[in-house]
Structure 1
Amino acid sequence: MIAELVAEVGPLWHERHQAGLASRPRCRAVGAGAKHKLVFVDRLLATLVHLRHGATHDVLACWFGVDRSTITRAIGEVRPLLAMRGCTIAPGVRLRSLAEVVDYLGASGQTGIIDGTEVRVRRPAVGRKDREKFISGKNKQNAVKFMVVTDAGGRLLFCSPAQPASCADITHARQLGLVRLLADGPVVEILADAGYQGLGAQTGGQVVTPPHRKFRKDVPDWYEEMRKTHSSRRIRVEHGIAHLKNWRALARHHGRREHMTDTIQAIAGLLSHQQTIALAADERM
């Protein structure tokens, strides 16, 4: 997989690097001066170790024998390129937007599952504008939220950009354009939890949520049966989220909040690629 990433991301990094050199006034030719101490393969490895194991920039700098600022710059260059790859569903076929996910589900006849999840982040500084936006109403902690879409088997199809955790799940889905995409696109079935109740009516029943609880006493058996059946169908998205948070960079984020979207989408792309390879191996067996 490392060789594939080098072959895919390496030319993009080199192109961006050369464009950056050529875009500013220079007193010497492009390519002159000191050379990189950290070649691209090492930059990629440092980024992968940082995302997977949460190793700090100081530790990585010691491992690779360079300055901490070199590691910070390398991760800042490689991480957005990994985020641009999207989620792999087949060799050479990737989904990079929610619209592509809806089209894929409609064309394949599969059921999608959506859920929102949060990652704890550092508290914004005192006096910062909109400081309270990051406080989660559910966990009472400073966090960011993103929406995850998987298929019925739990394979990752999409991770949305991060939003402050005060944003409700249903509001986030509407901001991403899910209602419009389902109205204008193919007919699909998407399972969701109670946090998305209300989208079913707006999407003609394409978003399926558990039934409202209308009984305070003497809850009928059919109600609990329906909720249990729905929960067992959508549990796969929880497994997908758990696999995402096995990557230490998402266990708790200690870096800048502005980088959360790239971090989330880079990890989702790497994880979906692993899932696709594992699925293809199982099918061959």
Structure 2
Amino acid sequence: MEQVISADRPEWVPVFTGVSVRVFRKLVRIVARRGGEQTGTGRRWGLSLADRVLLVAVYYRTNLTFRQVALLFGISKSAANRVVDHLAPLLALAPVTREHGPDTVLIVDGTLVPTHDRGMSASSKNYRYSVTMQVVIDANTRLVVAVGEPTPGNRNDCRAYTDSGVDEQCRGANVLADGGYQGNPGVIMPYRRPRKGQPPLPQWKEDLNTVHKSVRARVEHALAHMKSWNILRNCRRTRDGVWHATRGIAQMRNLSMTA
């Protein structure tokens, strides 16, 4: 099969991946440092490292099937699958391994990602089998700091926050979230609206809620940006595939914002 797109033709990179050529080259260097370049003996890859990274980025952006992606790169469907299996963990955002400083402000929110893997998903409020992905951003830089492990889509945010392990990656920081994170004492939520017949909130609480909402909107904008990579709208990957894909997209978004 003839290869249609290649990293040697940089004009195709923004079209198929949604990132600039400069960001893509940074991504290739990151994957290379993490061991993506083939060394030693064994079966050789039919594509260069840059083309393999491009394949994964195209797959995440377009959510084409492996049969369709394989045609673009002139390889077999099974080879395209192997490329994604091999590089997806190397392309992903690294987990947080240290405690944050007390002046750090993070924002967390969950988003539903429809997935075909019934073993880890559940029917959720969007009436599809989905997983909940917890995403944390830095309130100042708006960069993604952490992505929790997927939890069933019918699990509420207050439980998914701890079950996903993202709470451990927020250690030491001030964490903002919406009212769905009740039961997590380390999370700062808005003041609850009084029930009917109760006195209204004092003005200072209303003012704090307004500020809280405006800051918290940053994570919603980040999630909307991440979902421009179409794999997060209908993920066909199984097991850790949706987790690697979400963290890989977070990595590309962060590079795009700091390039």
Common topology (TM > 0.5): yes
CA distance in 1, matches of 2:78, 2:167: 43
Q: Distance in 1 between matches of 2:169 and 2:219?
A: 20
Superposition pairs of residues 38-77 of structure 1, within 5 angstroms: 38-77=47-86
Q: Which letter does structure 1 place at the counterpart of 2:230?
A: R
TM-score normalised according to structure 1 size: 0.71
Letter in 1 for 2:238: R
2:212 aligns with 230
- Aligned mates of 1:161, 1:167 — CA distance in 2: 13
8 Å Cα contact 1:121/1:257 also seen in 2? no
- Cα–Cα, structure 1 residues 271 and 212, in superposed 2: closer, same or farther, change >3 Å? same
| Shift, 1:111, TM fit | 1.4
Equivalent residue number for residue 104 of structure 1: 100
**Residues 28-43 of structure 1 mapped to structure 2, 5 A cutoff:** 30-31=41-42, 35-43=44-52
CA shift in 2, pair 1:190/1:149, >3 Å: same
* 2:36 maps to amino acid: W
Which whole-Å CA distance do the structure 1 matches of 2:192 and 2:201 have between them? 14
Q: Is the 8 A contact 1:105 1:111 kept in 2?
A: no
Match of 1:113 among 97, 107, 110: 107
Query: 1:112 & 1:230 partners in 2: Cα distance?
Result: 12
Query: Could you tell me which residue of structure 2 aligns to residue 23 of structure 1?
Result: none
Q: CA RMSD in A?
A: 2.7
Where does structure 2 lack aligned partners over 5 or more consecutive residues?
1-22
> Residue deviations 1:73-123, cap 9 Å, x none?
11111111112x42xxxxxxxxx22x53xx3343xx231111111111226
Q: Which residue pairs with 1:165 in the alignment?
A: 153
SS in 2 for 1:13: coil
1-side partners of 2:57 and 2:246: how far apart?
13
Distance (Å, rounded) in 2 between the aligned partners of 1:194 and 1:273 = 31
With over 3 angstroms needed to count, the CA separation of the structure-2 counterparts of 1:178 and 1:246, relative to structure 1, is closer
Of 116, 135, 146 in structure 1, the residue corresponding to residue 133 of structure 2 is: 146
- Counterpart Cα distance in 2 of 1:123 and 1:80: 18
- Maintained 8 Å contact 1:162/1:261: yes
Deviation at residue 70 of structure 1 after TM alignment: 1.0
Structure 1 or 2: larger helix share?
1
Task: Return the letter of the residue paired with 1:192.
Answer: A
Partner of 1:282: none
For residues 197 and 59 of structure 1, do their structure 2 counterparts lie closer, same or farther at Cα, with a shift above 3 Å needed?
Answer: same
How many correspondences in the alignment? 233
% same residue: 27
Deviation at 1:146, TM superposition (A): 1.3
Aligned with residue 244 of structure 1, among 226, 229, 244: 226
Q: Which residue of 2 aligns with 1:269?
A: 251
Partner SS, residue 146 of structure 2: strand
Runs (5+) with no aligned partner, structure 1: 19-29, 87-95, 125-129, 278-285
Check 1:208–1:54 CA distance in 2 against 1; reply closer, same or farther (3 A cut): same
Displacement of 1:147 in angstroms is 0.9
